Structure 1
Amino acid sequence: SRADPASLVLPPIMDPQYGYLSVNVETQAQDPHSLLNWTRRMLAVRKQSKAFGRGSLKMLSPSNRRILAYTREYTGPDGRNELILCVANVSRSAQAAELDLSAFAGMVPVEMLGGNAFPPIGQLNFLLTLAPYGFYWFVLAAENQMPSWHVAPAQSIPDFTTLVLKQRMEELLEEPCRTTLEHTSLPAWLPKRRWFAGKDTAIDSVRIAYGVRFGDPQHPVLLSELEVSSGGQVSRYQLPFGFLGEDQFTSALPQQLALARVRRAREVGLVTDAFSLEHFIRAVIKALQAGTVLTTDDGDLRFEATSHLANLPLNDESQVRYLAAEQSNSSVVVGESLVLKLIRKVSAGVHPELEMSAYLTAAGYPNISPLLGSMIRHDNAGQDNLLMIAQGYLSNQGDAWSWTQNNLERAIRDELAEAISEQEQHYNALGELADFAALLGRRLGEMHGVLAAKTANTDFKPEVTTAKDTQAWAKDVGAQIERALQLLKLHQNQLNPADQALVSELLAHKKAIGSHVQALAKATAGGLRIRVHGDLHLGQVLVVKGDAYLIDFEGEPARPLHERRGKHSPYKDVSGVLRSFDYAAAMALNVQGVDHSPEADTARKRVTDRYLSEARAAFTQAYHQATSTLAHDWQEADGQSAALTLFSLEKAAYEVAYEAENRPTWLPVPLQGLHGLLSGLTPISKTARGGETS
């Protein structure tokens, strides 16, 4: 475009309030005639629609944060409705967008500038690709404007077992339906679910522990839990059963999660995961508001709400939006003000997610999702089993992991570019990352300050690290490092020569490493032990208007509840964030499908090295400033440093085990982190310098 001003590509910025585009141009490359004609055309198109100037505005939430998407809707005095979809790529590189437009299923997007019809909207995400700074204005038209070239996809019918009911949903728990579900449908269905933890082990048996009718009489649901026996262990999973009539096949998700076909008199439908049904979600909200209690063979189901829930404007018209169909738990947003999370794997005991949310909300700590309510099964043994938790929804810019990746990508592009336009010089991606790291350190320190405050609640009362505690930490961390070294040895031949050398170096000094861990643990005596997040990383932080909010307090899911509820050094959380910085840098450094020339790789290395240095320094400095009043009473001068190193080693060892079992190609990241943390150890330091080892 610089060589030929007539072919200038103008990067437009969408204005959601007024529906027009402001155009950034470089003065020396302007073609006044083409710019004027382009502006006239935009104004003419805009004047054709009253929705731009007078219509309501509703922002959409594409997962790609470089995409701005919203709808404008206007109903005129004559009752005619005008609906416009606007999508803009605010990035200087091409982007893809996946938009949840299922609310407009059957409508046809007609591009306003050219008048061309796009494929009709269905229940699945609507896919678009946009050029750098590209945009679309669509009128959502009726189905009669379907493009002539469109071919409707063939509808595949899943091969489901058919269950026959006379009338009631409870008949699913009676023979022969129960046997079919337990022996055929559920054993085939469960391994396909992401939240099911026993995918690698054959299922021995499935038993429906209980089922109780719940919800609207017109749309009954069975609240239920399953006992799954696999590999000699019995685990509990929550699965509410819902019925989807043939006339209700308007949403893709319930059909995707169906597990059996059902026939009830003349009615035909599917048995599906009820959490995918909007009427079930609304019934749960009403039950929370009413304080409903249901009785089952396995105890009472108690719906409880906090005072915060009553302040939310929720009703039968509140939008229900699913965050993800398949995660370790299932979550949905209601009315853009509440997040309802269904706990899939159920464990007896106080759940740290509920306990921490309740404590921090009551203490007034602002940078979390406030607790709104919960559903608990109080079993016959007197123990609580958390089944659902409702928390405040935080309208956000994405989690800190994705936000960091986006900024690192931008910083690398700027580094690779020959020059940056004047319009973009004001934005410093690495500076933004360092500022956010400092903010995250401050917010974490403030939370630890709340958790370290004096209280009569023994579950949250701060304690001092004793010699017994240090011995337990030394044993636990030592065992995790031992296992990590075994896994590294097992995968050593799959690594590159440089990383193979690091593994050999670590294995050669196992005894020295063990002694080092013992010394580190001993030096932590006198430090505070408090309740902590327990599994903190950038993915557990939301970016909300530039601020950092901490979420997901359930701890490491692989650990039992009593361990997740245990008191720990606050440096467990600090080390988790620092290790996450390392992963973010490694992801940016090893991104696939981009220029990997020597010059480009050198530029990436410069950016990621600077990011790590600045983010780590900013985070730790801000954290220590925020926690300067914490009553640590270290018995050794280097207690603070020892605690940070010890729990960073623990985290790196955990990462080695995870990567070895799930993503062996990522082993170099925790391997290099583990080696770097041990570089202060004399034998390893000498080896790294090429000196002799003891």
Structure 2
Amino acid sequence: MIASLSTPVLLDYLKKCRWFAGKARQVESCMVKHEIPVGDAWIWILEVAYEEGDKETYQLPVALVEKLPDNPAEQTLITETEKGLLVDAIYTDSFRNVLYSRVFHGDKDEALTFTTGKGLQIQDVPEHISSRVLAVDSSNSALVFGEKYFFKLYRKLFRETNPEVEMVQFITENSDFTQIPPFCGSMTWRRAGATDITLGMMQGKVEARMDNWSLTGDYLNEFLYAVPNAVFTIQENVFEQVALLGKRTAEMHAALYNPQAEVNFSPEPFTEGYRRFLQQRLSHLLNSRYTLLIDKYLSLDEPTKRLAWKFMEAKELIDEFSEDLLKQPLDSLRIRIHGDYHLGQVLSADHDFILIDFEGEPEASIQDRKIKHSPLKDVAGMIRSYHYAVSSKVFTSDETRHISPEKLLVVTDRWYRLMKETYLDAYMEALGWPHPLFKDQNEINSLLLYYLLEKAVYELGYELSYRPDWVKIPLKGIADVIREIEKMHG
């Protein structure tokens, strides 16, 4: 096989691909480091080195063909060679057939291991099945088999197993929780003397109407249209949907709580090392956000300046709160969690919800994505997402543009508090009380405040850098936490 294409040829091709994350960086070299045979195709493991920063590793399946498939995608052709057209193999029927067959049979060879998951009910599934490439603009590639199974081919590779595959496989194989696309199989690169690397995962295909961010936006329309008339209205079905999501969140965490699980998934206490990790993370976030906020302060509008000033004035209070929390005895437990939980990670299907994308926080290292946290970190992420849903709708709509920002802050806060209370009540009821994950209500309150603060401070950095008009949203979230801390100290 031709594994010696020049950097310019490979780079020209990579720049056409949505999944290549290095487009804005200065590439020093791009080369094929490994070549893994798969049927009549190969999987190339590419190493991309940059003039600055760490190298990146990508997966590129390749095949030689005489002619392009009908209606080829822009990313199909890599280059022309003396032996034929070199194409991305996912666009060939033969490569997709081999992937499916090897997952179906659970094959393995010297380099690759294919597993067959519980979600692939062999007795009901044909050994040969139709397939296509899903036209998605994503950081990975998606293949569909028989309109029943969804295969995610991971393009950017990490130097160990993918947390999403671990999470989906664990939930599917060890619980009765059915509100995720079930684990059907995986493809893993086995490296001699090194950690295995996940190359792909197959799940059950879900027919979803929309994600819950869009659904919540639809529910907010009636509320939004009433605001200019000084009417506060929320339909009962909105509360029902929020409560159902609280219940499904609790069921997900109950599925991940398994005292008999192997070490990667067994519950753990709040160790000294984890406490230090939390403290260092929050300290770093706070320092970087304070610096950014000072730089941008004069460009903020008056309501946002007042919120910013409250945040900056409360630095000592926040430091004291986090230090006290992490020094006191904590008997609640930590488990593997979703890690990037928000309304966009929830699909609406058949009047219920499907939870997706268990890869973890995008900016975190692969090791940090596997750290066990209190499930309240996921809860805080979803609560903050509801705050964003109402704020982004109300603050950016033509219907409310003539209303003062101060008034809009009050209105959004009322809606958000009702959704927060509804979601939390349903979550705790579904989880059951008492539950080993939480010692008592005091620890729940303190930990939830901590994770809400951490999430809002994290959001603040993004808004200051990219959406200055939205800075008020995380600042309001921070101000809410500060008020609750003041109550605890009062």
TM (norm. structure 2) is 0.88
- Return closer, same or farther for 1:537/1:293 CA change in 2, 3 Å cut-off: same
Q: Kindly provide the amino acid, as one letter, of the partner of residue 58 in structure 2.
A: Y
Residue of structure 1 in register with 2:56 after alignment: 235
Q: Structure 1: how far apart are the matches of 2:407 and 2:65?
A: 55
Residue of structure 2 in register with 1:203 after alignment: 27
1:248 to 58, 69, 76: 69
Residue of structure 1 in register with 2:161 after alignment: 350
Secondary structure of 1:525's match?
Answer: coil
**Cα distance, 1:538 vs. partner?**
0.8
Residue of structure 2 in register with 1:403 after alignment: 215
Residue of structure 2 in register with 1:224 after alignment: 44
Query: How many residues are treated as equivalent by the alignment?
Result: 484
1:459-470 matched pairs, under 5 angstroms: 459-470=264-275
1:302 corresponds to 2:113:
yes
Q: Structure 2: how far apart are the matches of 1:681 and 1:532?
A: 26
**Cα distance, 1:512 vs. partner?**
2.8
C-alpha distance after superposition, 1:68-92 (max 9, x if no partner): xxxxxxxxxxxxxxxxxxxxxxxxx
**Cα distance, 1:597 vs. partner?**
5.1
Residue of structure 2 in register with 1:286 after alignment: 101
**Cα distance, 1:245 vs. partner?**
5.2
Secondary structure of 1:206's match?
Answer: strand
Kept after mapping to 1: 8 A contact 2:224/2:399: no
Q: Structure 1: how far apart are the matches of 2:192 and 2:386?
A: 45
**Cα distance, 1:506 vs. partner?**
2.3
- Return closer, same or farther for 1:606/1:496 CA change in 2, 3 Å cut-off: closer
1:492 to 293, 297, 303: 297
- Return closer, same or farther for 1:604/1:637 CA change in 2, 3 Å cut-off: closer
Residue of structure 2 in register with 1:655 after alignment: 459
**Cα distance, 1:525 vs. partner?**
1.0
Runs of 4+ deviating beyond 6 Å? 414-419, 599-607
**Cα distance, 1:376 vs. partner?**
0.2
1:189-588 matched pairs, under 5 angstroms: 189-215=13-39, 220-230=40-50, 231-243=52-64, 246=67, 248-251=69-72, 253=73, 256-258=74-76, 260-264=78-82, 269=85, 271-295=86-110, 300-309=111-120, 310-311=122-123, 313-314=125-126, 318=130, 320=132, 322=134, 324=136, 326-362=137-173, 363-413=175-225, 430-523=235-328, 525-588=330-393
- Return closer, same or farther for 1:313/1:416 CA change in 2, 3 Å cut-off: farther
Q: Structure 2: how far apart are the matches of 1:387 and 1:203?
A: 24
Q: Structure 2: how far apart are the matches of 1:509 and 1:415?
A: 32
**Cα distance, 1:260 vs. partner?**
4.0
Kept after mapping to 1: 8 A contact 2:142/2:152: yes
Kept after mapping to 1: 8 A contact 2:119/2:203: no
Kept after mapping to 1: 8 A contact 2:103/2:185: yes
Higher helix share: 2
1:669 corresponds to 2:473:
yes
1:623-642 matched pairs, under 5 angstroms: 623-627=427-431, 628-632=433-437, 634=439, 638-642=442-446
Residue of structure 2 in register with 1:615 after alignment: 419
Q: Structure 2: how far apart are the matches of 1:259 and 1:490?
A: 47
Secondary structure of 1:285's match?
Answer: helix
**Cα distance, 1:333 vs. partner?**
2.9
Kept after mapping to 2: 8 A contact 1:416/1:600: no
- Return closer, same or farther for 1:418/1:308 CA change in 2, 3 Å cut-off: same
What's the Cα RMSD here?
3.1
C-alpha distance after superposition, 1:322-352 (max 9, x if no partner): 151x212222332231111011221122322
Q: Structure 2: how far apart are the matches of 1:524 and 1:579?
A: 27
Kept after mapping to 1: 8 A contact 2:256/2:335: yes
Q: Structure 2: how far apart are the matches of 1:666 and 1:203?
A: 34
- Return closer, same or farther for 1:383/1:214 CA change in 2, 3 Å cut-off: same
**Cα distance, 1:655 vs. partner?**
1.4
Q: Kindly provide the amino acid, as one letter, of the partner of residue 205 in structure 2.
A: Y
Q: Kindly provide the amino acid, as one letter, of the partner of residue 391 in structure 2.
A: A
C-alpha distance after superposition, 1:136-168 (max 9, x if no partner): xxxxxxxxxxxxxxxxxxxxxxxxxxxxxxxxx
- Return closer, same or farther for 1:601/1:529 CA change in 2, 3 Å cut-off: closer
**Cα distance, 1:228 vs. partner?**
1.1
**Cα distance, 1:249 vs. partner?**
4.2
- Return closer, same or farther for 1:273/1:589 CA change in 2, 3 Å cut-off: farther
Secondary structure of 2:42's match?
Answer: strand
Q: Structure 2: how far apart are the matches of 1:510 and 1:607?
A: 27
Kept after mapping to 1: 8 A contact 2:453/2:481: yes
Q: Structure 1: how far apart are the matches of 2:168 and 2:257?
A: 16
| Higher radius of gyration, 1 or 2 | 1
Secondary structure of 2:374's match?
Answer: coil
Q: Kindly provide the amino acid, as one letter, of the partner of residue 75 in structure 2.
A: L
Q: Structure 1: how far apart are the matches of 2:92 and 2:465?
A: 35
**Cα distance, 1:599 vs. partner?**
6.5
1:86-235 matched pairs, under 5 angstroms: 170-171=1-2, 173-174=3-4, 178-179=5-6, 183-215=7-39, 220-230=40-50, 231-235=52-56
**Cα distance, 1:664 vs. partner?**
4.1
1:680 corresponds to 2:484:
yes
Q: Structure 2: how far apart are the matches of 1:467 and 1:293?
A: 41
Q: Structure 2: how far apart are the matches of 1:517 and 1:381?
A: 41
Q: Structure 2: how far apart are the matches of 1:662 and 1:224?
A: 36
Q: Structure 2: how far apart are the matches of 1:607 and 1:274?
A: 53
**Cα distance, 1:189 vs. partner?**
3.8
C-alpha distance after superposition, 1:414-459 (max 9, x if no partner): 667999xxxxxxxx97432221111111111122222223214122
1:644 to 448, 458, 479: 448
Secondary structure of 2:210's match?
Answer: coil
Kept after mapping to 2: 8 A contact 1:588/1:608: no
- Return closer, same or farther for 1:468/1:307 CA change in 2, 3 Å cut-off: closer
Q: Structure 1: how far apart are the matches of 2:468 and 2:407?
A: 26
- Return closer, same or farther for 1:312/1:285 CA change in 2, 3 Å cut-off: farther
Secondary structure of 2:428's match?
Answer: helix
Q: Structure 2: how far apart are the matches of 1:276 and 1:491?
A: 47
Kept after mapping to 2: 8 A contact 1:412/1:607: no
- Return closer, same or farther for 1:415/1:682 CA change in 2, 3 Å cut-off: closer
Q: Kindly provide the amino acid, as one letter, of the partner of residue 425 in structure 2.
A: Q
Q: Structure 2: how far apart are the matches of 1:204 and 1:681?
A: 50
Higher relative contact order (CA 8 A, sep 6+): 2
- Return closer, same or farther for 1:193/1:481 CA change in 2, 3 Å cut-off: farther
Secondary structure of 1:233's match?
Answer: coil
